[in-house]
Structure 1
Amino acid sequence: MEQQLEVFVKVAEKESFSRAAEELHMTQPAVSQYIQQFEREMGTKLLERSNKYVRLNKAGEIVYHHAKEIIGLYTKMQRLVDDVTNKTSGPLSIGASYTFGEYVLPHIIALTLEKYPLVKPTITIGNTKEIAELVTSHQLDIGIIEGGLKNAKLNIEPFSKDEMYVFISSKHQLASRNGEIQVSELEDETWIVRENGSGTREASDEVFRIFNLAPPKIMEFGSNQLIKESVEASLGISLLSHWAIRKEVEIGTLKILKIKGLPYTRQFSAIVQTPFHTKAMDSFLNLLREEELLYNIGNKGPQHFQS
C-alpha cells in the first residue's frame, strides 16, 4: 500500500505517468499498473486521463490529501523506530515563517549541523498559516511561527521574544527627526503590510488597533524583502522585526522611528504535531530553547535598536 500511495501522489503532482515514472526510477507501464491496482482497491477512478494531461477528479483530490498525510506519518514512524538505537541523525523537515526563516533560521541550522553533523535538514518557508497547515498534515516535523496561533491539533511552545519597529527610508522627511514621533503624524502615510495569514500582518493590525490608527493608504506585499526595498524606494513606511531590518539600518538606508509604546513585542513559537519526537527533532528543539542562543546570534549583527 505504501508504494501505491507514493506512486499515486507522484502521478498527481507531476500530472503525467511518464514524468512520475522518471522521478520514481520506474517504467511507465509499472506506474500505470500501480495506479490501476490502487483504483481497483479504492473502488473508483481517481484520475482523469487524456492525451494532454492526467488530473485528479473529486475522489482523487480526497485520496491525494489523505495519502500525503499517511506517507508523512509512515515516514515519521520509521524514523522514530530507527531512532531508538541510533545517534542523532537522519532527515528533519523544518518549516518557518518568513521573518524567522529568512533571518534567524540559517544560523540555527549552522549550529545544528556543527553539533549534529548526521542530521539532514530540509527547509520550507511560508507564512504562519501555511506552516501551521503543513505541520498539521504531517508534511513538516517542526514549524516555527511568529505571533499567535490557535490550533488544538498542535503543541505550541513559545521560545523567544521578537521586537518590531516602524521604519522609514533615510530619505523620508521624518528621517532628520531625532526625538519621538507622534503616531498621529503617521496616519496619512502609505503603510506597506504583509498579506493576511502572515504573523507580521497580524502584528501590524494589532499596532493599528493599539494606536487607534486607520491608514487610508495601505499596500499589501507578500515578502519582507519586497517591503524593505519598497520602503527604501520611498513608497511608504512599515513595521517589521528588528531581525529583518537590522542590516539596512546599520548601513543607513532605513531608519527606525522613535515612537512611545514601541517596539511591539511578539513571540516566536515552535509547533509540532506529535508527542513522539526523533532525536533530531528533540536536539533541534533544545537548541531553540537555549535562552542565550538568539541573543548571541543578534550580537553578531548591528546593535542600534534602542527604545
Structure 2
Amino acid sequence: MDQHLRVFVTVVEKGNFSRAAEELHMTQPAVSQYIKLLEQTYGEQLLDRSNKYVRLNKAGEIVYAHAKEILGLYTKMQRLLDDLANRATGHLSIGASYTFGEYVLPHYIARLHEQFPLIKPSIVIGNSKEIAELVEGHQLDVGIIEGELQNNQLSIEAFAEDTMYVVASAQHRLAQQIDEVKLSDLEEETWIIRELGSGTRAATEKIFHSLSIKPKDVMEFGSTQLVKESVESGLGLTFLSHLAIRKESAMGLLKTIAVKDTPFKRKFSIVLRTSFKTKALEVFIDLLKEDPSLSTVIKRP
C-alpha cells in the first residue's frame, strides 16, 4: 500500500500522470493503474482529471494529507532500522525558521558535512508555525524555531539565546541619536514587520506590548530579506535579530537604535515529534547543543 500512496502523492505534486511517471521511472499506464486501485480500495474518486491536469477533490485532500504523514513514518522507520548498523548516515530533513535557517543553519550544515559526510541533509525554511506543523506531520525530522510555542504533540527544547534590536537605516534621523529614542517617536514611524506565525512577528508584538506603543503605520512582509531591504531604503523601522543584520551593520547600511527595554532576548528551540532518533538526527542535535553561543558558531572557520 505504501507504493500506491507514493504514486498518488507524486501525481498530486507533479500535477499530471506523465510527469509523475517520469519522476517514478514508470510507464504512464502503470501510474494510472496504481491510482485506479487506490480509488477502488477506498471506494472514492480521489482526483478530478482533465487532459491537461489532475486536481484533488475533497476525498483526495484527506488521503493526500494522511499519505504524506504515513510516508514520512515509513521513511523514519526505515532509517531507524538502518541505524542498527550504528552509523550516522542517510537522509536528514531539517526545518528552520527564517532567522536561524538563513543566517545560522548554513554554518551548522557545513560542520555536519565536515564531520559526518555520509549524512545527506535537506533544508526547509519557513516561519516558526509552518516548521512546527511540518514536524508534527512527520514531514520533517527536526525543526528549529524562534520564540515560544505550545504544542502537546511536540517536544520543544530551548538550546540557544538570540538578541533582538530596533533597527533603522543608518541614514534615518533616529539612528543619529545617541540617547534613547522617545517612545512617542517610535509610534510616529512606519514599522515593517513579519507575517503572523513568524517568531520575529511574535517578538515584535511583545516589544510593542511591553513598551505600550501602537504604531500608526504598519507594513507586513513575508521574508526577513524583504524587511531589511525596505528598512535600508528608509521606508521605516523594524525589529530584528542581531544575527540577521550582521553584514548590513558591518557595512554601515543598518543601525540599531537605543530604545527602552531593548535589546530583547528570545530563545531558539529544537522541535521533535518523537523520542525515536536516527543516528543522523542524534549527531545533528548534539552539534546544535555543543556550543550555545551562536556567534561563536558563525565565526568559526
Given the two structures, how large is their TM-score scaled by the length of structure 1? 0.95
Q: What is the match of residue 14 of structure 1?
A: 14
- How far did residue 292 of structure 1 move? 4.7
- How far did residue 295 of structure 1 move? 3.5
Consecutive unaligned residues in structure 2, runs of 5 or more: none
- How far did residue 293 of structure 1 move? 5.0
Task: Write the deviation string for residues 246-296 of structure 1: whole angstroms up to 9, x where unpaired.
Answer: 111111011111123111111000101011000010100011112355241
- How far did residue 50 of structure 1 move? 1.8
Q: What is the match of residue 278 of structure 1?
A: 278
Q: What is the match of residue 203 of structure 2?
A: 203
Contact conserved, 2:194 with 2:224, CA < 8 A, in 1? yes
- How far did residue 13 of structure 1 move? 1.4
Counterpart AA for 1:73: L
Deviates more, 1:98-107 or 1:56-65: 56-65
Give the match's secondary structure for 2:235. coil
Q: What is the match of residue 162 of structure 1?
A: 162
Contact conserved, 2:194 with 2:220, CA < 8 A, in 1? yes
Percentage of identical aligned residues:
60
d(CA) in 1 for partners of 2:63, 2:195: 30
Equivalence map 1:90-105=2 (5 Å):
90-105=90-105
Q: What is the match of residue 241 of structure 2?
A: 241
Consecutive unaligned residues in structure 1, runs of 5 or more: 302-307
d(CA) in 2 for partners of 1:266, 1:108: 20
Runs of 4 or more, structure 1, over 6 Å off, are none
Q: What is the match of residue 63 of structure 1?
A: 63
Equivalence map 1:142-181=2 (5 Å):
142-181=142-181
Equivalence map 1:21-60=2 (5 Å):
21-60=21-60
Equivalence map 1:114-125=2 (5 Å):
114-125=114-125
Contact conserved, 2:159 with 2:292, CA < 8 A, in 1? no
Deviates more, 1:173-182 or 1:275-284: 173-182
d(CA) in 2 for partners of 1:11, 1:4: 11
d(CA) in 1 for partners of 2:72, 2:84: 19
Task: Write the deviation string for residues 158-207 of structure 1: whole angstroms up to 9, x where unpaired.
Answer: 00010000011111112222222222221100000000010000000000
Contact conserved, 1:169 with 1:234, CA < 8 A, in 2? yes
Counterpart AA for 1:175: A
Superposed CA RMSD:
1.3
Equivalence map 1:213-228=2 (5 Å):
213-228=213-228
* Number of equivalences: 301
Q: 1:244 to 1:34 in 2, by over 3 A?
A: same
